[in-house]
Structure 1
Amino acid sequence: LGGQPHVAASARRTAGVRGDLDHFGALGFLQGLLTVLRDSGHTGLFVVLDEVETLQRVRSDARDKALNALRQLIDEVHSGRFPGLYLVITGTPAFYDGQQGVQRLAPLAQRLATDFTTDPRFDNPRAVQIRLPGFNQKSLVGLGLTIRDLYADAAEMPERVRKVVDDGYVADLALAVGGALGGKVGVAPRLFLKKLVGDVLDRVDQFDDFDPRQHYRLTVAGSELTDVERNLAATVSGDSASADDIDLEL
């Protein structure tokens, strides 16, 4: 009963469930959930369908069915059937622009069509589709400061967190993490936030005498990196491989 396509009748009888839940029923349940949330005093529901580009790797019939479901969901939201629902669908440019993604279903492509040939500085944040620029040093530091402030709000000693992990230290840590990845700031956010929260903020909050400038040195182990991050780190350490490093038996 956790979303499996096939559930034994005996299990359904035990749970008191009758019949199958199709996409029509699922949308009805979503509508009911929004009503419950509204009557409970909540503003609404924020739903994120993340990494939908994975649809490009499924069978063509399943992909077409999923794309049509997205089209239907978008139409239902636009018609006002789900008041209080904020829907976000994330995917790569290849999914939105490629022939194996949104462009495969013309009605869906028409609904999501957005002109990105203009200057990115003037992108319309109200458009149906928004492009996300990569991180630079300034935006990475801004992200770190936001996370620091959110952490401090719930910390046992919020003022100490803000004082010890000040803006200057957050900027220094962001620069160090980016440097460990060959200066490629665009792939650094995951590792940067992991180090900031797990290695610095948690310790500042738990240990009164912990000062990250004195007691912490950034270390990056290969086991905690993704493949992309590991390749970038190798260019910094000088361990990157080249064609000359491959032994060929002739």
Structure 2
Amino acid sequence: MKLRFPHSEQFPELEDRSDPMVTLVETWVSVVKNSAGIRAQALRRPVDAASRIYQELQKRLFKPGLPSNFKEALIALAMADLKSDIDTKNLLYGWFKGEDRKIQVPEDYLRQPDGLRNVVSGKSRVLRPIGRGTARSALGALLWLIKQVGCSGLVLCIDEIEELAKLRLQNRRDQALQALREHVDNAGGDDFGGLCLYLAATPEMFENPAYFPRYEALQTRIQQVGKGINWRGPVVDLEKTPLEETEMKGIAKKIVDAYQIAYGEAATEWVTDSVIGSLVLEVLENRERTGKPRLLARKMVEMLHEKRSFEGEGDPNSGQEILVDA
């Protein structure tokens, strides 16, 4: 599953895709506007544009289980976009990204437009931030939104799960482990369909009786069965699964594919099999204690960023040796 954003020629206003969440919600707004017959490049808008948008929002957001605050945030964003209300849009961007603060949006944005009259009440609606009590429903709403813009799902990668061990209160640690257990149980289910979740933790979390083994409901779901390596199991031990040269090249190519999705073909067209092969050999021969896949990923991304930063300045392969030897 890959989170793909529309190309800029389809949605010219989305040329800057540096912020994934802003891109996602803006893409959704563009889809709503197009369905309502409001074109971004049109010189004039229909006089009933607000009514059209609101009717389209009602059709799209009539979904059982979608959190009410999420619906209100989407409605407010679409109406703020229609009115070119940059301040409200920026507040809503922060809300969707999980900023820990309450925001206020004009209550008029959440009401059905009153014909062609521009009635302004001056009242505001408070949207509370996404927190522990609403995080689960917010994740489900996010997956729904991702699919609404034509994406197949979300790949969510979380590193350093061992940080859970630093929580002072035991009940907080248990709550965190329970959340992990729920994600294992819900994998592939209806609640989180389209979610691919990767979690990385140190071996101590699996071996120390005070951590994963302490929470039996989780331990029984992730413990290894048999001596073989199950690549499709809930846990893959990276220490027992070293990658060979061919697999390392595969990782590099997938990074290039992901980079191309984000920045277009021009950003990666210079990356040949020879470039990837040379980089992989350099990494495999490197004597640093850093894990080889991690080192490869870092250097591959650095190389791509370096080329993109100096696009059009000389040979695209000129920065390769500098980065590999860094």
TM-score range, shorter chain: 0.5 to 0.7
Name the structure 1 match of 2:322.
218
Q: Does 1:69 align with 2:179?
A: yes
Name the structure 1 match of 2:245.
137
Report the structure, 1 or 2, having the larger helix content. Answer: 1
The AA in structure 1 aligned to 2:252 is G
- 1:158 Cα deviation (Å)? 6.3
Name the structure 1 match of 2:211.
101
CA–CA distance in structure 2, aligned partners of residues 180 and 211 of structure 1: 23
Indicate the RMSD between aligned Cα atoms, in angstroms: 3.9
Unaligned runs of 5+ in 2: 1-94, 105-123
Task: Tell me the SS of whatever aligns to 2:127.
Answer: coil
**Which range is displaced more, 147-156 or 98-107?**
147-156
Same amino acid, percent of matched pairs: 21
Residues 15 and 74 of structure 1, relative CA distance in 2, 3 Å threshold: farther
Q: Does 1:111 align with 2:217?
A: no
Task: Tell me the SS of whatever aligns to 2:142.
Answer: helix
Task: Tell me the SS of whatever aligns to 2:193.
Answer: coil
Q: Does 1:174 align with 2:280?
A: yes
TM value normalised by structure 1: 0.61
Residues 194 and 178 of structure 1, relative CA distance in 2, 3 Å threshold: farther
The answer as to whether partners of 2:162 and 2:205 remain within 8 angstroms in 1 is yes
Task: Tell me the SS of whatever aligns to 1:16.
Answer: strand
Name the structure 2 match of 1:189.
296
The answer as to whether partners of 1:50 and 1:89 remain within 8 angstroms in 2 is yes
Name the structure 1 match of 2:142.
33
**Which range is displaced more, 38-47 or 66-75?**
38-47
Residues 84-141 of structure 1 show CA distances to partners (whole Å, capped at 9, x for unaligned) of 33333332332233323211100111122222622x3xx242x222333334433333
CA–CA distance in structure 2, aligned partners of residues 152 and 19 of structure 1: 33
Name the structure 1 match of 2:111.
none
Which of 56, 74, 84 is equivalent to 2:165?
56
The AA in structure 2 aligned to 1:112 is I
TM value normalised by structure 2: 0.49
Aligned length: 204
